[in-house]
Structure 1
Amino acid sequence: MTTTHKVTHNEQAGSFEVFVEGHRAHLDYRKVDDNTLDFCHTFVPNELRGKGLAAVVTAAALEYARDKGFEVIPSCSYVEVYLKREAGKA
């Protein structure tokens, strides 16, 4: 997915985030162990909904996990749906 939005990884907060028009959309995670991340929550404020930002932060988080060799637990329902949708494209 190409985007002009810059996603930042805020390790201290355990989130991937993007700021648009003064609002923050994010995907929160927790480290389960040295090999596993739990993607537990995505949030997009009402002002930014419908712009694909949940997909943008999810794609960035999944790319990070893949690059670092982490397994992912998709406990967030959005992340679970995103993964199923992407698997259907393969």
Structure 2
Amino acid sequence: MNVTVIDAPDASRYEVVVGGTLAGFAEYRLEGGIIAFTHTETLPEFAGQGLARTLVDFALGDARARGLDVLPFCPYVRSVIARNPGTWLDLVPADARERLGLADQR
């Protein structure tokens, strides 16, 4: 399976592509040094293949590489961070963690 993840800034989303076909996306709003993830979706025909996790790991890694703070308004992105606090929690500003349900993750 040929899986690629890209940032599509004109569409304000990261996209996961399988064999040249769009399989899912993670929408975001980028403002200054903050990226707010608002919605993640895997297309039904690609469900259950771990693509959403691949997509979100790429997006969070890219945010880290770009020095961006992350606001995970999307429940799926928030759950990835909550399940992997040692890897991703530092991307979420400390003062935003409690209201996002991430306060006791370390």
Fold match (TM-score > 0.5): yes
Indicate the residue corresponding to 2:84 in structure 1: 86
- The Cα shift of 1:20 comes to 2.1
Query: Which runs of 5 or more structure 1 residues have no equivalent in the other structure?
Result: none
Q: Relative contact order, CA 8 A, sep 6+: which one is greater?
A: 1
Give the SS at the match of 2:3: coil
| AA of the residue aligned to 2:28 | Y
The structure with the largest alpha-carbon Rg is: 2
Q: Which runs of 5+ in 2 are unaligned?
A: 88-105
Match in the other structure for 1:36? 34
8 Å contact from structure 2 (residues 41, 52) kept in 1: yes
Aligned residues: 87
SS in structure 1 at match of 2:85: helix
**Which residue identity lines up with residue 87 of structure 1 in the other structure?**
P
Runs of 4+ more than 4 Å apart: none
1-side partners of 2:73 and 2:49: how far apart?
Answer: 23
Query: What is the percent sequence identity of the aligned residues?
Result: 31
Aligned CA RMSD, in angstroms, stands at 2.1
Q: CA offsets per residue over residues 23-69 of structure 1, 9 Å max, x none?
A: 431111011x3110101110101111110111011011101110011
More helix by share: 2
